[in-house]
Amino acid sequence: MKVGVLALQGAFREHREALESLGVAVAEVRTPDALARVDALVMPGGESTTMHHLLASSGLVDPLQEAIGDGLAVFGTCAGLILLARAVLDGRADQTPLGAIDLTARRNAYGRQRDSFEADLRITGLEGPDFRGVFIRAPAIERVGDAVVVLAEHNGRPVLAKEGRVWVSTFHPELAGDVRVHERFLQEVA
């Protein structure tokens, strides 16, 4: 299995390193041609408006929507979640989400950079101790559709969810020093 990491902006290096530590072949994705050569894709955190513009300018929006529609497994973290959502609150009017998972996200729901935090998360199906979630200017999941499965919550709000082969998290698993979330995603979609 070859896993792509969207490498336009954001924490793509950290995701690449987490995946490589699991022995996975990883490719950085910046073009439609690179996207066509991967079996799964991780969309990192970063700045969602900038990432949206870079997806458009690199010609990736339509190929990405098509690939996800054809069954490409994708995991969006933080800004990646915002890009994959069906609807986005507090976004820019010209920022159209990909609609890959039936949920509504709210940008920067937990506050500014100084309001970033870490929290222990109990994740359904994850063995061992709680997972340390790193929330940096994190979005919130405000609504989930009937087919969306919530895998973890923090203070009663969903923070890790999936619908079919699309996974999203409001936190940054790549910054936790713990690759179990990446590993679980890969095991489920392989």
At 122 the pLDDT is: 97
List Cα–Cα distances, 36 to 13, 67, 68, 142, in angstroms: 20, 8, 11, 32
Q: Which of 15, 78, 154, 182 is catalytic?
A: 78
CA distance linking residue 83 with residue 44, whole number of Å: 10
How large a percentage of the chain has pLDDT more than 90?
A: 87
pLDDT band at 184 (very low <50, low <70, confident <90, very high): very high
Q: Which of 15, 154, 172, 182 is catalytic?
A: 172
For residue 146, count other CB atoms closer than 10 A to its CB: 6
At 61 the pLDDT is: 96
Mean pLDDT, range 75-83, rounded to an integer: 96
For the ranges 6-20, 53-67, 102-116, which has the lowest average pLDDT? 102-116
For residue 125, count other CB atoms closer than 10 A to its CB: 10
Q: What is the pLDDT of residues 96-117, one digit of tens each?
A: 899 999 999 999 887 777 788 9
CB 118 within 8 A of CB 133: yes
List residues bridging with 158 in a β-sheet: 153
Look at residue 170 and tell me whether its pLDDT is greater than 80: yes
At 66 the pLDDT is: 97
At 108 the pLDDT is: 83
Q: Which of 14, 15, 163, 174 is catalytic?
A: 174
CA distance linking residue 156 with residue 154, whole number of Å: 5
Q: 2-189 belongs to which CATH class?
A: alpha beta
Mean pLDDT, range 149-165, rounded to an integer: 97
66 is catalytic: no
DSSP string, 61-95: HHHHHHHHHTT-EEEEETHHHHHHEEEEES--TT-
28 is catalytic: no
153 is catalytic: no
